[in-house]
Chain A
């Protein structure tokens, strides 16, 4: 449980009682370890990450484990999700022939990220795992390594460098500058933005929900009850909005990953 929630709900601190608003902040993303193994703490986000693995595998096992030609309900749902990523993202960018190889990775990425995001609005859990930078970073790292590997495998060392730096002779004297910027943008900034885009969205979403939740509690005093009602409505609205954002961010993350792979396989121009 976050330190902030402890403050907000385990104390009877309300408005007009002379105590300040326990605003959510970075400390809301710190958890006391559930237990410690060999000097390493095991905390709630880690537990949720592990549960994500269990849930994604569990779901697809239940859906596809005994796949039938005439699908059951669960299999239909699984197929819809599978097809969404396969056709909607991978085939779109890479084409059926070249994309087929990357379908498992992208499907895994999408559902893994989505479920990690989804924890944000699951009661008791109520924390998006991806708002801890390490998790998006790990996934972005995998995509980054894959992208590098494919670039140099496809084009060789010099060709790969050209691909990364956007080498184009027609640029003339601007070429060194363009190459520097491209290199910087592709090699250094790209993995960072890839991870941070997901992280920041989920981080901000979580702070928003926390904000209105804590405020609902904090405002429950005197005239403050009216404000608390508004705040609670906002909590509900933000929760619904988060449900949407979680899916969108998972989609964007996978879409970008696919585009990077496509860029690596494309002929440099």
Chain B
């Protein structure tokens, strides 16, 4: 049988046949040379590049984050400034408004007083004018009337004036008495 003849040929399986040993060494040597000299350096370089890229990326990300933080702080500061400014302006406007109102009020007051004073003066002047003209008219009428009654013209001016004045004074006194009497009543 084939198997038996082969089995008889079998040597100690722990004794390495030389051709296999040589082939094994050569085969491994080729693998080792290719990997050690060519392929593993390539991948090591790539891995280094990747590490550098990742670290670079991280640095970039950190920088970006810091910048973003800075911008945010700036923005917040600006916002706070703006709010502050707005509050200040509002305050100012309010103060100004109050001042304007107060000023307007005092101005109005002043104008009113002026108008009132002017009115008073006018009334006083009118009263005086009216009083003067009345006194004149009454004097004239009285003299005319007296002249007609007496039948002669009271030419004497001085006497005429005195008489009229005395009459008017009497009238005033009477009027004063009447008002006093009314007041007491």
Q: Please report A residues at the B interface, Cβ cutoff 8 Å.
A: 3-4, 6-7, 22, 25-27, 29-30, 40-41, 45-46, 49-50, 52-53, 56-57, 60-61, 63-65, 67-69, 71, 75, 78-79, 82, 103-105, 107-109, 111-112, 132-135, 137-139, 141-142, 196, 199, 203
Contact = CB atoms under 8 A, between A and B. Distances in A.
Contact of A3 (B3, B17, B50): B3
Given A30-B6, A45-B20, A112 B31 contact: yes
Given A7-B2, A53-B27, A133-B13, A40 B19 contact: yes
16 contacts: A22-B3, A26-B10, A30-B10, A49-B27, A56-B31, A56-B35, A57-B34, A57-B39, A60-B39, A60-B40, A64-B46, A104-B36, A132-B20, A133-B14, A138-B25, A199-B14
Given A6-B2, A57-B34, A64 B17 contact: no
B12 to A, nearest CB: 9
Contact of B50 (A69, A105, A133, A199): A69
A29 B3 contact: no
Contacts of A203: 13
Interface string B57-69: 0000000000000
B39 A65 contact: yes
A26 B24 contact: no
Nearest to B10: A26
A133 B32 CA distance: 20
A132 B7 CA distance: 16
Contacts, number: 131
Q: Interface SS of chain B: helix, strand, loop or mixed?
A: helix
A64 B19 CA distance: 32
Nearest to B54: A69
> Most chain-B Cβ atoms within 10 A of its Cβ — which of A105, A108, A139?
A108
B182 interface: no
A108 B35 contact: yes
Contact of A46 (B23, B34, B39): B23
> Most chain-B Cβ atoms within 10 A of its Cβ — which of A26, A63, A67, A78?
A67
A138 B28 contact: yes
